[in-house]
Chain A
Amino acid sequence: MHRIKLFSLPVFFICALLFPHRSAADQPDSLLILMQSELNREMIELKKTSLPPYYIDFRVNESEETEIRSSFGSITKTRSDKKRILNTRVKIGDYSFDNSHAGSKTNMGRLSGFSIPMMLPYENSADAIRFSLWESTQANYKLAKEVFTSLKSSPVDSTDENRSVADFSKETPSQYYAPPIEPLERTFNKSGWEEKIKNFSKLFLVDKNIISGNVFLQINRERKYFVSTEGSSVVQNQTYCQLMIDGSIRADDGDVLPLYKTYFVLTPADFPTDDVILKDIHELISKLEKIRNAPLADPYTGPAILNARASGVFFHEIFGHRIEGHRMKDESDGQTFSGKLNELVLPKSINVIFDPTVSTYEKFSLNGSYAYDDEGIKSQRVEVVEKGILKNFLMSRTPLNGFLKSNGHGRTAAGGTPVSRQSNMFIETSDPLSDADLRKMLIKECKKQNKEYGYMFEDVEGGFTNTGRYIPNAFNIFPTEVYRIYVDGRPDELVRGVDLIGTPLTMFAGIKAAGDKKEIFAGICGAESGGVPVTAISPSIFVNHIETQRKVKASVEPSLIEKPAPADK
């Protein structure tokens, strides 16, 4: 048996906005000038063609990124680079019907709204920039033309509900210019951080059952440029700073149990002190050791409390993705909330708000914040659920019946095509209960349902949901820390091997109360337009009926010989 092993580590990252405090009236930079002049030239020239576009935009994501990884006290990756990704969107037809029209079943039609990304030079040589913008426009105009021709030549589908709604919303052009922020190398001590990260991950060597002990630092400075033929010109900055710690321990039955701790900040200087991080890692290791000896849980139905962080992920996955507006135009989507506008979808005490305009919450940075979305639309606070009643959807420039304008939630990763995505989600309750009261409710409900115990989901690592209609419209949340709360007063019992599963409407109907303390769950949400940074700020919730299933179990055998002892021992 043999193996050649190459590095192929998964990349996790978390992001936040850095709003510059300087005036937007500063002198535009040369990239912006080049983008605007080439955009004008392209539009003027393409207007002369037989199938002229009615809209073009250029979006450039310029990133400067440093990534350092360590494992058990060794640096396993260190990299710093910069790049620019260009995406050109060309629209042919008009606002009511264009090459992004959804629902076509032809091969070309399936590419509706798609655009081809490419790398752009990161140096502002006029010839090189203009040439790359031209190359990209050529390719994307050609694609748009072929898709539009295919859509127009397809027989009119009388069942196409999207025909009654425009394909692209009319919006007021935006003007925003943030001056550049300092390059990373001037503000970030890379070698100092390498040493720190080595020392952090070294702590995992303490327990022979710990099979992975990793620390990952990512520092990213991003500058986003957006210009459109409607006259929008938006230049904004973001920084992405994340320190992620993960450890996994092997249980005696071979199962592998992970725990995570993530710090998200705007700049490296904002990270907690080393003492705080070291203390947190010690706590994480201690928790790993406890989980290792925890019993495996059997499938369960009954009452549960989702603590604040777990509840944030739950709302993001199960609720948030279902109020992303563009899904209501997708025939293959389950469209859970399509016909539920102005109906009660959550308890009357619950409000759900998405607000990318807020950059901090109780001194914590929120990574779902931005000044303008990736379609150049100013970010807006959107009250999606008021007193339990569905009032709104998250909208990009893809309109819906009754929602003809964007509310600043058209988002994408670099190189993608924007669709409606989540930002900072706030779950609020008009009737907050203390943790003790939630616990009392749980025990009371357990007794009513004749259950020996209920569940408390303390922390989760993430989850996924299927919003399509071809397979069940279900969700799966991956808890990392779960306790049984016994009705007879026995101490809470840590268990392992639990996944929280269900279907959305049943679960929403089961939410009976929410807590008075909120926590922040920050992460990168992956969907059609790639990974975008999001935050959920949520209280704990009490649900009268949840369902769990056994988690996929690993079967890692114990090592045959001890991990080699460090040379200095």
Chain B
Amino acid sequence: MNNNFKFILVALIFISATRIADAQKKEDVVMKAMEDELSRSMNELKYNEYPKPFFISYTIKDSKSLTIVATLGALMYSLDLPQKTEGARVLAGDYDFNDESLDNDITSAPGRNEIDMPVGDDYDGIRRSMWAATDNIYKNATKHFQRNKMNLADQKKELKDIPHRSFAKTEVTNFVVDSPIISCNKPALENYVRELSAEFNQYEDLISTHIVLSFKRGNDYFANSEGTRVKTPFRLASLGLDASIKTADGDNLQAKLNYDASEPGQFPSTGKIKTDISEMMKKLLAKRNAPVFNEDYSGPVLIEQQALAELISITLFSYNDGLVANNEINTGNGSSFEQGNSPDSKIGKTIVSETMTVTSMPKMKTFKGTPLLGSFDIDDEGVIPPDRLILIEKGKLKNLLNDRTITKPGQSANGHGQGPGVISVSFDNTVAKAALKNMLIKEAKSEGLEYAFILKSVVKKGVSSVPGSSSTSRSHGDNEVADLDIYRVSLTDSSEEFVRSVKLNSISTKIFKKISAASNDTVVQQTEQRASATGVLSLLLPGAVLFKQLELSGSDKPFHKDDIFVESPLKKNRE
């Protein structure tokens, strides 16, 4: 996420009073269809001698997704696709013991008789689709519940004495924000992308470049048999620009710019982005002659805000790891979580530096005028989160982000069914940002090192991928980081020199154990985060943090020295 991002202050989820009034007059077809089928299912579903379901919930994501891809001033792909996707949960048993309680096989495969969800607001079609899904899931749930009952009986133990999953009781909520799915001016956005991508035509050393604009908008619907009703609008626009060049020794250097906003209209002006492109390319081209790092380093590293945000996102908020509660239970089958690595087991223990505090503040909408794109008022299970939830306090793990699935004593549903939204990361030991570099040099000297490092930004894999191209799947830790923008700092004159081909080793929560100091400012960084409710994680964090000891080594990425066989057609002297 680029910090130069210029946000325009707008109310993101509220529309004009007139539009609200209009929407209220018109019955919401999607919600009505969900409610009617939910009610009918709860009243009439009965499978042989088995009990009725005690809980049903329906989710519908009603969206339009625009994707525009261009290279060098020409469009490659442009599609605005309407889509509705549905989810259903049907539970047999009761809140304490049900079909999801005793093993980790808790999803129901689609049956042959399932019916696709309509694209439009089609009352009959939505009901048919939910009806077919409910029927299949309920049948599977009842069979599973009978199996669980037999398993429990076989174990001859009390439920409380074996690892199990229960379903949390929560308050009934009614949270409906009416907002139609906004349209977009596709030809204008195509021109915008075309114009920006043409900026790259002047760089004759490029070996690859693309621009991807995406704009996802729509409404999330949720209804359950307890009476909760939720309708919340979502809007997220992303603009990713990437460029690659090759060095004389065959190293591929890549640079990326990313902008996120609620709507494409809130992206920076084309003039500003063109300036950013120019700066990015200037910096990228300057890196061609940078030295290659081919040794090992263990010592202090100063990490600046963009890199810090990405590392926090990767280590603390990856799916089912870090500070997100894991829903797996120990069945004795030996997965890593079942072997005691579950984050739940660390509650009350010190897991990072005692100066570090992490707090979830999902409802926070802006910070010093900057809209927080990860903000949400209610989670995807209809649970309202608290205004503040302390996750780590002075290094000690206090809470995990959790949904309604309870796998450990002491857990509760805390309104984070779809992960983090707005997270504050702060440190007790702060100094002025300008002082951190001096501290870095001093620490390196005291360790007898020849130099120190400043990590300014990281490029994550799989961002802004071109549709149809092979995308890199995200996994945990090191594998998610594609490249580092890292500088070697002279301990004598404090000059900085970019170094190529550096790898940050062992990226995990452990890197936060030894923090020398953090800057005393607070900045906003917004990063793509698939585990978050909105797709974006908004982080409030210091502008830089000095890590006492990190390990760096030479990257193992291969260099291909002689694989430019023909000069690029962008070379102006080819004529």
Which residues on A are within 8 Å of B, measured CB to CB?
1-7, 9, 38, 41-42, 45-46, 49, 69, 71-79, 81, 83-84, 118-125, 127-135, 137-138, 141-142, 211-212, 248, 250, 256, 554, 556-557, 559-561, 563-564, 566-567
Enumerate 16 A-B pairs (CB-CB under 8 Å) in ascending A order.
Answer: A1-B99, A3-B108, A3-B110, A4-B86, A5-B86, A5-B87, A74-B120, A119-B77, A121-B70, A127-B72, A127-B201, A130-B569, A559-B132, A560-B45, A566-B124, A567-B124
Within 8 A of A (CB), among B19-78: 36-37, 40-41, 44-47, 59, 69-78
Q: Is the CB of B131 within 8 A of A563?
A: yes
Q: Is the CB of A121 within 8 A of B76?
A: yes
Q: Is the CB of B77 within 8 A of A134?
A: no
Contact of A134 among B119, B135, B566 (CB under 8 A): B566
B37, closest chain A residue (CB): A564
Beyond the given pairs A128-B74, A142-B563, A560-B138, 19 more chain A to chain B contacts, judged by CB atoms under 8 angstroms and listed by A's residue number, are A1-B107, A1-B108, A2-B107, A2-B137, A3-B108, A4-B85, A41-B566, A45-B566, A74-B116, A74-B120, A119-B468, A132-B71, A134-B566, A212-B113, A256-B112, A556-B113, A561-B135, A563-B131, A564-B128
With the chains together, A122 CA to B574 CA distance in Å? 25
Tell me if B390 counts as interface (CB < 8 A to partner A): no
Nearest 3 interchain pairs by C-beta = A74-B125, A121-B74, A2-B89
Interface of B is mostly: mixed
Known: A1-B108, A3-B137, A127-B201. A69 touches B116 (CB 8 A): yes
Q: Is the CB of A135 within 8 A of B207?
A: yes
Contact of A72 among B86, B107, B115, B466 (CB under 8 A): B115
Q: Is the CB of B119 within 8 A of A556?
A: no
Q: Is the CB of B140 within 8 A of A128?
A: no
Q: Is the CB of B569 within 8 A of A75?
A: no
Q: B208-236, CB under 8 A of A: which get 1 and which 0?
A: 10000000000000000000000000000
A212 CB contacts on chain B under 8 angstroms: 112-113, 115
Tell me if B141 counts as interface (CB < 8 A to partner A): yes
With the chains together, A131 CA to B205 CA distance in Å? 11
Interface core residue of B89, B123, B124, B144 (most chain A CB under 10 Å): B124
Known: A6-B85, A138-B564, A567-B123. A74 touches B74 (CB 8 A): no
A42 CB contacts on chain B under 8 angstroms: 566
Contact of B141 among A1, A122, A129, A564 (CB under 8 A): A1
Q: Is the CB of B125 within 8 A of A78?
A: no
With the chains together, A69 CA to B117 CA distance in Å? 11
With the chains together, A561 CA to B69 CA distance in Å? 46
With the chains together, A130 CA to B567 CA distance in Å? 12
A120 CB contacts on chain B under 8 angstroms: 76
Q: Is the CB of B107 within 8 A of A123?
A: no
Q: Is the CB of A131 within 8 A of B141?
A: no
With the chains together, A8 CA to B567 CA distance in Å? 42
Q: Is the CB of A125 within 8 A of B72?
A: yes
Q: Is the CB of B76 within 8 A of A131?
A: no
B111 CB contacts on chain A under 8 angstroms: 556
A202, closest chain B residue (CB): B124
Q: Is the CB of A250 within 8 A of B76?
A: no
Tell me if B180 counts as interface (CB < 8 A to partner A): no
B141 CB contacts on chain A under 8 angstroms: 1
Q: Is the CB of A5 within 8 A of B208?
A: no
With the chains together, A4 CA to B60 CA distance in Å? 9
A84 CB contacts on chain B under 8 angstroms: 76
Count of interface residues, chain B, beta-carbon cutoff 8 Å: 82
A133 CB contacts on chain B under 8 angstroms: 569
Interface of A is mostly: mixed
A560 CB contacts on chain B under 8 angstroms: 44-47, 135, 138-139
Expressed in whole angstroms, the minimum distance between the Cβ of A180 and any Cβ of chain B is 18
With the chains together, A316 CA to B110 CA distance in Å? 33
Contact of B137 among A1, A78, A248 (CB under 8 A): A1
A557 CB contacts on chain B under 8 angstroms: 139
A42, closest chain B residue (CB): B566
With the chains together, A2 CA to B70 CA distance in Å? 39
Tell me if B90 counts as interface (CB < 8 A to partner A): yes
Within 8 A of A (CB), among B436-494: 466, 468-469
B115 CB contacts on chain A under 8 angstroms: 71-72, 212
Expressed in whole angstroms, the minimum distance between the Cβ of B73 and any Cβ of chain A is 5
Q: Is the CB of B85 within 8 A of A5?
A: yes
B112 CB contacts on chain A under 8 angstroms: 211-212, 248, 256, 554, 556
A248 CB contacts on chain B under 8 angstroms: 112
B82, closest chain A residue (CB): A78
With the chains together, A4 CA to B100 CA distance in Å? 16
Tell me if B127 counts as interface (CB < 8 A to partner A): yes
Tell me if B535 counts as interface (CB < 8 A to partner A): no
With the chains together, A55 CA to B46 CA distance in Å? 69
With the chains together, A212 CA to B127 CA distance in Å? 15
Contact of A7 among B85, B124, B135 (CB under 8 A): B85
A123 CB contacts on chain B under 8 angstroms: 74-75, 194
With the chains together, A561 CA to B144 CA distance in Å? 20
Expressed in whole angstroms, the minimum distance between the Cβ of B518 and any Cβ of chain A is 38
With the chains together, A72 CA to B194 CA distance in Å? 41
Q: Is the CB of A138 within 8 A of B116?
A: no
B69 CB contacts on chain A under 8 angstroms: 119
A83 CB contacts on chain B under 8 angstroms: 76-77, 468
With the chains together, A133 CA to B466 CA distance in Å? 17
Tell me if B324 counts as interface (CB < 8 A to partner A): no
Q: Is the CB of B566 within 8 A of A46?
A: yes
With the chains together, A46 CA to B565 CA distance in Å? 7
Tell me if B268 counts as interface (CB < 8 A to partner A): no
A118, closest chain B residue (CB): B469
With the chains together, A13 CA to B109 CA distance in Å? 26
With the chains together, A134 CA to B566 CA distance in Å? 8
Q: Is the CB of A73 within 8 A of B77?
A: no
With the chains together, A420 CA to B112 CA distance in Å? 36
A213, closest chain B residue (CB): B115
Expressed in whole angstroms, the minimum distance between the Cβ of B84 and any Cβ of chain A is 9
Expressed in whole angstroms, the minimum distance between the Cβ of B36 and any Cβ of chain A is 8
Tell me if B8 counts as interface (CB < 8 A to partner A): no
Tell me if B373 counts as interface (CB < 8 A to partner A): no
Q: Is the CB of A81 within 8 A of B77?
A: yes
Q: Is the CB of A131 within 8 A of B568?
A: yes
With the chains together, A4 CA to B78 CA distance in Å? 27
A559 CB contacts on chain B under 8 angstroms: 113, 131-132, 135
B120, closest chain A residue (CB): A75
A125, closest chain B residue (CB): B74
Q: Is the CB of A77 within 8 A of B207?
A: no
Tell me if B15 counts as interface (CB < 8 A to partner A): no
Tell me if B413 counts as interface (CB < 8 A to partner A): no
Contact of B113 among A78, A250, A566 (CB under 8 A): A250
A52, closest chain B residue (CB): B565
Contact of A77 among B119, B124, B144 (CB under 8 A): B119
Tell me if B133 counts as interface (CB < 8 A to partner A): yes
B106, closest chain A residue (CB): A1
Q: Is the CB of A211 within 8 A of B72?
A: no
A49 CB contacts on chain B under 8 angstroms: 565
Known: A560-B135, A563-B128. A138 touches B565 (CB 8 A): yes
With the chains together, A567 CA to B32 CA distance in Å? 12
A79, closest chain B residue (CB): B81
Q: Is the CB of B127 within 8 A of A564?
A: yes
Expressed in whole angstroms, the minimum distance between the Cβ of A29 and any Cβ of chain B is 15
Expressed in whole angstroms, the minimum distance between the Cβ of A416 and any Cβ of chain B is 14
